[in-house]
Amino acid sequence: MNISGVVVRTLPERIEEVINSLEESGLCDVHFHDDKGRIIVTIEAETTEEEVFKLKALQGLEHVLSADLVYAYSEEELEKAKEELHMERGELPKIVEEDVPAERIKYYGHIYKDYE
């Protein structure tokens, strides 16, 4: 599963029209917008190819000036990274395996130093 955050831009006077188009498209979920023509959406896809297809389709909607990917998450990449960490060092760091609140995490240049 891939989940991506996208910023869609349109003219401020077209924002309601574009939001309706986005919602009706079935390509994404609309979350936020401002009065400057920026709309935040997420795309869910099973593959990277499907994700790219949906992004290009958003870019092609009428009155969309741009649709730019700003965040991407892939379960497959996470699992691959976990496997690579495990192969390199043996045991996975606690921070990868535990549900650690973000405010307790301090980055020291690598993930093998304990969190606070």
CB count in 10 Å sphere of residue 8:
25
Domains of the chain from N-terminus onward: 2-74 (3.30.70.920)
The per-residue pLDDT for 87 is: 56
Q: Enumerate residues 6+ apart whose C-beta is below 8 A from 55.
A: 4, 6, 43, 67, 69
Q: Which among 24, 33, 25 has a CA at the least distance from the CA of 6? A: 33
Report the C-alpha gap between 42 and 115 in whole angstroms. 30
pTM of the model: 0.66
What does pLDDT average to in each consecutive run of 10 residues of the chain (116 residues)?
94 97 96 96 92 96 96 76 62 61 67 50
The per-residue pLDDT for 21 is: 97
